[in-house]
A and B are shown apart, each in its own frame.
Chain A
Amino acid sequence: MTEFSTKKVTAKLFLLLVFSDVLETVTHVCFKKSVSAEMAFTFSNAGAFFSFLHGVMLSPFLWLGLASVLITFIIWTLILSRIDLSVAVPIASFSYILIPVVSVIFLHERISLIRWLGIACILSGVILVSMSSGSKERIPGE
């Protein structure tokens, strides 16, 4: 079996990861908008479940979300062809930083100290995981 080692996380890969992350956030917002509060799901019976699904499927946000899922899939596949799963997934947590920072710059929201601490933790975690990528093993085709 070919040993599949992975490359170091380059700036290009990192940007691609961030982009797929942003798209994933778009997906989540779309999905959240596709379920309105008044259709809160209850565990009563199967019929309630199907009428819930039916309501969700009529929302344009669901379909917008699904389109974004497709694009994310393609980008994600390209990323995974390059780096370990246990590197790609943690680095994708970068969106937890992106959203608060964007809301500070563009929406002038205030961020609590605890949240800044959390952001610092995620950032250091992402740096640590990135540093752990890129093995000394041979890369096939190189």
Chain B
Amino acid sequence: MKALYITIGLIFLTSLCDTINQLFLKSSINAISFNVYKPGEIVKFILKIILTPRVWLGFLFTVASLCIWLVVLSRADLNLAFSVDSMHYILIAVASMIFLKEKISLLRWIGISVIVFGIILVTVS
């Protein structure tokens, strides 16, 4: 039972790391104005993103998340791992609201909650 709690804690940690990474990436993208969708411009945009230090900081969190995730997968089966991981969606929504100042309407909250509920149903069944 204690092992299960450790596993769930680890899954939460990977979600947290992923969320931090997404925040760094999205805030870097927001800082770069990008509207022209031509192959050359896209390459330039990707290069700009890759050269942003914050993106690499986020990348470190992804590496940490990946290492923890590998540990989780060696201990738990994919179903449990994914169903607990669904709280990731709530975490992303709260973080987007606080740090990225995204306006989350009631409709979006309901949508996110329904998705989390659905994921739990799909992964548990």
Contacts and interface: CB of A to CB of B under 8 A. Distances in A.
Interface of A: 2, 4, 28, 31-32, 34-35, 37, 39-41, 43, 52-53, 56, 74, 76-78, 80-81, 84-87, 89-90, 93, 96, 100, 112, 114-115, 117-133, 135, 140-142
Contacts, number: 156
A77 B46 contact: yes
B89 A87 contact: no
The SS class assigned to the B binding surface is helix
14 contacts: A78-B46, A81-B34, A86-B97, A96-B123, A114-B121, A115-B122, A118-B121, A118-B125, A122-B118, A124-B111, A125-B116, A128-B107, A128-B114, A129-B108
Nearest to A135: B103
A78 B117 contact: no
B73 interface: yes
A96 B75 contact: no
The SS class assigned to the A binding surface is helix
